[in-house]
Structure 1
Amino acid sequence: MLNYDVIVIGGGPGGLAGAISADREGAKVLLIEREARLGGILKQCIHDGFGLLRFEEKLSGPEYAQRFVDEFHERKIDFNVLTYVTGIKKLEHKYLVSVVNTKGVIEYTTKSIILATGCRERTSKQVFIHGTRPSGVFTAGTAQYYTNILGELPTKKCVILGSGDIGLIMARRLTLEGAKVCGVYEAKSTPSGLTRNIMQCLNDFEIPLFLSHTVTRLFGEERLQAVEIMKVDEYMVPVPGTEEIVECDALILSVGLIPENELAESLNVRIDSRTKGPVCDDDFMTSEPGIFICGNALHVNDLVDYVSESGELAGKAAANFCYKPKELVSFKVGKDFLYFVPQQVSIRKINKTSTFYFRSREVLKKAVVTISLNGKQIFEKKYAYLKPPEMEAIKLNMSQFHFVKEDTLTVEVKGEKV
């Protein structure tokens, strides 16, 4: 049985960054990946726009991932691909990780674990679309895999439900490959994707976007033949009499992402109902000592640069982890936030800058985010606009504050609703 200081589960951008960061700290690291190649979802994201924050240049997904893969291999960090984690068991001051691959069942021990398991897409069954169950209903990520990895065009004429970034990018990609995109339909009254993707993927290609519309029924036996579209009211309830039938051979779903946290839940890690990911402190450690979280497994990021950043922070903390009880102060988060993570800070007096990520619940202009300690404001940042699809990050020097367990930390956002 091999022993490691840090085991990273997931070989995408968060896991790679976490493994490299832990290795820099001198830890003995093992990375476990269930696919045949490292890089995660970025392997199929052939469009550019990655790395603008981190590298200050436009990179495709594979180019961005390769920079981390190259450094990972240069450091000769141990890794297993085509390997599945079957269970994690908590022992005294360490964890037993059981995996299975072509060599059989293998067990490792480690003092800390980084969960970099990413997220998954919601399916048609999770958005309750009525009708038959023909072929031709894909998630946007699946359509992307068919087109970019397998080189197969999954549709000739399609409807896209949801204006998430992957759906917007696939609207452009399929159009470039010769398919007809009848329209992108979004149940909410505002788009779910980044503004740049609305402009570059829809407007530049004259693909219509229909807000406050949803798909209510599928038609077809073996293959999808048409969908029923209806308008929805402010409560997202279909409005009778607004039915429209659109002929198509595929429905592509871009209706949201969910952090993949089955392993975290198996360890009884506390989950945040807002993010659907674990609650963690400013070291990205969950409620279970030695279990760290990063990237889309913590919360769904809109930029891969932030995924790598959280991986690096988690990797450094995991490498330096020791079993000492932590005292934490939790944030009281204002109702106008969709979420705010990390949700806790540890009580300590060290020179440390912590990074926090958040999304506003609604579109706000002239917005101000404030953090208060026991009612006294300690931080303020102004934004011209805050939009739910666009995540923001705050860096705060924690060494200037001396927390005690009874302290109250409050974060609020105020602004004019659009």
Structure 2
Amino acid sequence: MKELRYDAVVIGGGAAGMAAALEIDKAGFSCAIVEREDHLGGILMQCIHNGFGLHEFKEELTGPEFAERFAEQVAQSNIVVYLGTTVTDINAQHGPYEKELICASPDYGIIKIISKAIVLAMGCRERNRGNVRIPGARPAGVYTAGLAQRLVNIEGYIPGKEVVIIGSGDIGLIMARRMSWVGCHVKAVVEIMPYPSGLTRNIVQCLHDFNIPLYLSCQTTNIFGNDRVEGIEVTPMENGALVLEKAFRIDCDTVLLSVGLVPENELSKDAGVELHPTTNGPIVDASLMTNVDGIFACGNVLHVHDLVDWVAEESRFAGRQAAAWLRGERPAHQVRVKAGPNVRYANPGKLDPSRDNKVYLRSMIVKNDAVLELRLDNRVIKSIKKGHIQPSEMITLTVGPKDLEGYTADSALELALL
């Protein structure tokens, strides 16, 4: 078995992986990217719509254009890229300050990579019908929205003509517009929650602009059809209960599922990384390092973002912190972060009181004129007004040394939405 050595290995060659690797390379450390697809860019390569890069590059780009900007930087760096290569195992206890990765590739065979640091950047996968337990038959014509996106944008196939989308996640909303553009009839988007799961701009641009109805507080209670989908049954909900007498049928030949994303962390678990029960991503400290010394996480493998610009920002920081760890730097103190009232989660789980920290959090409520309250040891230290909050839109803020003045070893910063 061929053995290779690098200071750091980044698993995943999407926006997160490339951004992290570039920072490690800039710091002067040897770095490799291991990507299981035959190209860099990850899921961005099938996202041909625009709207990417407004924060990162100050201009509006398509997904492939956004990925290309990073891929060009990688090509001009000293980063070694292994495409079509899958990491099958991580041994985090290989030796003092060393980890061992076993990788499989048609081109390289089975290779062993020894590194000091690892950055997890594997992204996420879609939840499917089994995850949401929709009853009924199992006919052809049921796809996840991401698979349908790949079929249309990459493979050139149209999965059906009469389409219903279950779930109002951003991929589903974008596919409602895309399927309309290719001549399909998108009959409805059905959402179990009383509010949309996707960004407001996607609701407007992908549904309202195409007169596609959105059924909120409605559950899909059956899929009809034997060989091919013939329709679905939709049952409204009131006060959390199904109102069976109001159920109705929508005829269709295709169902697209846009019911959420799950961080891809099977490798993480095998390496002994502790996962957050809410995000299903690794629990990380102020440097985005997991409980396993020298293993960092960033991007959608850490928590699902709504903008790739935030993925790139977070991942560049992870790369810089991995480089600092390789130099032997460690934060002297860290302050624990708690998700308070109406906050689903906050990342990272700890803050470094000696510098500015970027914090990402998600709301559990939909509200206008909200207030984000920061409480250090139950003492309100800052209140930030928010014009509108909803679960689908990430909230970001910076917490600096002045905010954490007076902290102790047992201090905790609680974030609350009121």
What CA distance in whole angstroms lies between the structure 2 residues aligned with 1:146 and 1:39?
17
Residue of structure 2 in register with 1:248 after alignment: 252
Residue of structure 2 in register with 1:2 after alignment: 4
Q: Among 19, 22, 25, which residue is 1:23 paired with?
A: 25
- For the 8 Å contact 1:140–1:167, the answer to whether it is kept is yes
The answer to which of 51-60 and 63-72 deviates more is: 51-60
Q: Among 375, 385, 404, which residue is 1:372 paired with?
A: 375
What CA distance in whole angstroms lies between the structure 1 residues aligned with 2:11 and 2:84?
12
Instruction: Give the share of equivalent positions with the same residue, in percent.
Output: 41
Number of residue equivalences = 410
What CA distance in whole angstroms lies between the structure 2 residues aligned with 1:393 and 1:325?
25
What CA distance in whole angstroms lies between the structure 1 residues aligned with 2:80 and 2:281?
27
One-letter code of the match for 2:50?
A: D
1:363-400 per-position Cα deviation (integer Å, ceiling 9, x unaligned): 12222222233344443321111111110111222477
Residue of structure 1 in register with 2:14 after alignment: 12
- For the 8 Å contact 1:132–1:218, the answer to whether it is kept is yes
1:170-197 per-position Cα deviation (integer Å, ceiling 9, x unaligned): 0000001000111001011001111100
- For the 8 Å contact 1:88–1:96, the answer to whether it is kept is yes
Would you say 1:387 and 2:393 are equivalent positions? no
Structure 1 unaligned runs (5+)? none
Residue correspondence of structure 1 range 106-117 to structure 2 within 5 A:
106-117=111-122
1:188-218 per-position Cα deviation (integer Å, ceiling 9, x unaligned): 1001111100110011111111111121111
What CA distance in whole angstroms lies between the structure 2 residues aligned with 1:234 and 1:262?
37
How much does 1:275 deviate? 1.2
Residue of structure 1 in register with 2:222 after alignment: 217
Structure 2 unaligned runs (5+)? none
What CA distance in whole angstroms lies between the structure 2 residues aligned with 1:54 and 1:268?
33
1:111-133 per-position Cα deviation (integer Å, ceiling 9, x unaligned): 11110011111101111111111
Residue of structure 1 in register with 2:40 after alignment: 38
- For the 8 Å contact 1:10–1:116, the answer to whether it is kept is yes
How much does 1:234 deviate? 3.0
How much does 1:10 deviate? 0.4
Residue of structure 1 in register with 2:152 after alignment: 147
One-letter code of the match for 2:308?
A: V
Residue of structure 2 in register with 1:231 after alignment: 236
1:309-355 per-position Cα deviation (integer Å, ceiling 9, x unaligned): 11100011111214677654321220310111111124x64xx3211
Residue of structure 1 in register with 2:314 after alignment: 310
- For the 8 Å contact 1:119–1:300, the answer to whether it is kept is yes
One-letter code of the match for 1:337?
A: V
1:320 aligned counterpart, secondary structure: helix
RMSD: 1.6
1:321 aligned counterpart, secondary structure: helix
What CA distance in whole angstroms lies between the structure 2 residues aligned with 1:385 and 1:212?
21
Residue of structure 2 in register with 1:354 after alignment: 357
What CA distance in whole angstroms lies between the structure 1 residues aligned with 2:32 and 2:179?
38
Would you say 1:190 and 2:210 are equivalent positions? no
Q: 1:400 to 1:186 in 2, by over 3 A?
A: closer
2:193 aligned counterpart, secondary structure: coil
1:279 aligned counterpart, secondary structure: coil
Residue correspondence of structure 1 range 16-415 to structure 2 within 5 A:
16-90=18-92, 91=94, 92-102=96-106, 103-235=108-240, 237-322=241-326, 328-346=334-352, 349=354, 352-398=355-401, 401=404, 403-414=407-418
